[in-house]
Structure 1
Amino acid sequence: ERVKVSQNWRHGRCRREIILKWKCKQVPPFSSIFLMPWIELDGEHLYLSQAENIQAYQLCADGAGLQRHPQAIFSGHQEDVCRFVLVNSHIVSGGGDGNIVLHKIHGSYSVKFSAHEQEVNCVDFQGGLIVSGSRDRTAKVWSLSAGRVGQCLHTVQTEDRVWSIAISPLLSSFVTGTACCGHTSPLRIWDLESGQLLTCLGTDFHRGAGVLDVFYETPSLLLSCGYDTYIRYWDVRASTR
Structure 2
Amino acid sequence: MLLFQLPEDVLYHILSYLDCKTLSRLSQVSKAFCHIVSRDVVWKKIAKELLNTGITRYWTDIYPHILLKDRVKIAQNWYHGVCKRATPLKWKTNDGKIMVHGRRSESPMKLFGHNQEVNCIDSKNELIISGSRDQTTQIWTLTSNCRRAVIPLYDRVWSVAINPALSSFVTGTACCENFSPLRMWDVERLECVCSLGSGFRRGAGVLDMVFETPFHLFTCGYDTFIRLWDLRLSPHKNVMEWEEPHDSALYCMQTDGNHMIASGSSYYGVVRLWDKRRTECLQGEHILGEEDRPKNGTLRDSLFKRHSGQAMLTKTNRNTSLRQTTPKPPKSSPTNAHTMLQFFQLSSDPVSSPVYCLCFSCSHLYAALATALHSLDFRHNLNITISNGVQDMAVCTQDMAADCCLIIDGFLVLS
- Please report the TM-score for the alignment, with normalisation by the length of structure 1: 0.61
1:126: Cα distance to partner? Answer: 1.0
Residue of 113, 126, 129 corresponding to 1:128: 126
Aligned residue number for residue 151 of structure 1: 146
State how far apart, in whole Å, the 1-side matches of 2:116 and 2:169 are. 21
Aligned residue number for residue 194 of structure 2: 199
Matched, 1:50 2:91: yes
Aligned residue number for residue 170 of structure 2: 175
Aligned residue number for residue 112 of structure 1: 110
Could you list the per-position Cα deviations for residues 97-138 of structure 1 after superposition, in whole angstroms to 9, with x for gaps in the alignment? 331111134542521121201000000111211100000000
Could you list the per-position Cα deviations for residues 166-224 of structure 1 after superposition, in whole angstroms to 9, with x for gaps in the alignment? 11101011100111111110000111112111110001211111101000010011000
Aligned residue number for residue 208 of structure 1: 203
State how far apart, in whole Å, the 2-side matches of 1:49 and 1:103 are. 19
Q: Relative to 1, partners in 2 of residues 1:135 and 1:9: Cα closer, same or farther, differing over 3 Å?
A: same
State how far apart, in whole Å, the 1-side matches of 2:120 and 2:103 are. 20
Residue of 67, 86, 89 corresponding to 1:19: 86
8 Å contact from structure 1 (residues 163, 211) kept in 2 = yes
Moved more, 229-238 or 168-177: 229-238
Aligned residue number for residue 42 of structure 1: none
State how far apart, in whole Å, the 2-side matches of 1:208 and 1:219 are. 28
> Unaligned regions of 5+ residues in structure 2, if any?
1-73, 239-415
State how far apart, in whole Å, the 2-side matches of 1:179 and 1:49 are. 28
1:154: Cα distance to partner? Answer: 1.4
State how far apart, in whole Å, the 1-side matches of 2:216 and 2:137 are. 22
Q: Relative to 1, partners in 2 of residues 1:185 and 1:104: Cα closer, same or farther, differing over 3 Å?
A: same
1:18: Cα distance to partner? Answer: 5.3
State how far apart, in whole Å, the 2-side matches of 1:159 and 1:139 are. 10
State how far apart, in whole Å, the 2-side matches of 1:128 and 1:219 are. 18
Aligned residue number for residue 24 of structure 1: none
State how far apart, in whole Å, the 2-side matches of 1:158 and 1:49 are. 33
State how far apart, in whole Å, the 1-side matches of 2:81 and 2:124 are. 37
Aligned residue number for residue 215 of structure 2: 220
State how far apart, in whole Å, the 2-side matches of 1:106 and 1:49 are. 24
State how far apart, in whole Å, the 1-side matches of 2:171 and 2:92 are. 25
State how far apart, in whole Å, the 2-side matches of 1:136 and 1:51 are. 24
8 Å contact from structure 1 (residues 141, 192) kept in 2 = no
The number of equivalent residue pairs is 162
Aligned residue number for residue 100 of structure 1: 98
* Local SS of the residue matching 2:202: coil
**Larger of the two Rg values belongs to structure:** 2
User: RMSD in angstroms over aligned alpha carbons?
Assistant: 2.4
State how far apart, in whole Å, the 2-side matches of 1:208 and 1:225 are. 13
Aligned residue number for residue 229 of structure 1: 224
* Local SS of the residue matching 2:179: coil
More strand by share: 1
1:49: Cα distance to partner? Answer: 6.6
1:15: Cα distance to partner? Answer: 5.2
> Unaligned regions of 5+ residues in structure 1, if any?
1-6, 21-45, 53-77, 79-96
Asked which structure has the greater RCO (Cα within 8 Å, sep 6+), the reply is 2
State how far apart, in whole Å, the 2-side matches of 1:137 and 1:49 are. 29
Q: Relative to 1, partners in 2 of residues 1:14 and 1:124: Cα closer, same or farther, differing over 3 Å?
A: closer
Could you list the per-position Cα deviations for residues 40-88 of structure 1 after superposition, in whole angstroms to 9, with x for gaps in the alignment? xxxxxx7x57236xxxxxxxxxxxxxxxxxxxxxxxxx1xxxxxxxxxx
8 Å contact from structure 1 (residues 163, 212) kept in 2 = yes
State how far apart, in whole Å, the 2-side matches of 1:207 and 1:227 are. 10
* Local SS of the residue matching 1:151: strand
Q: Relative to 1, partners in 2 of residues 1:104 and 1:49: Cα closer, same or farther, differing over 3 Å?
A: farther
Letter paired with 2:231: V
Aligned residue number for residue 160 of structure 1: 155
1:228: Cα distance to partner? Answer: 0.7
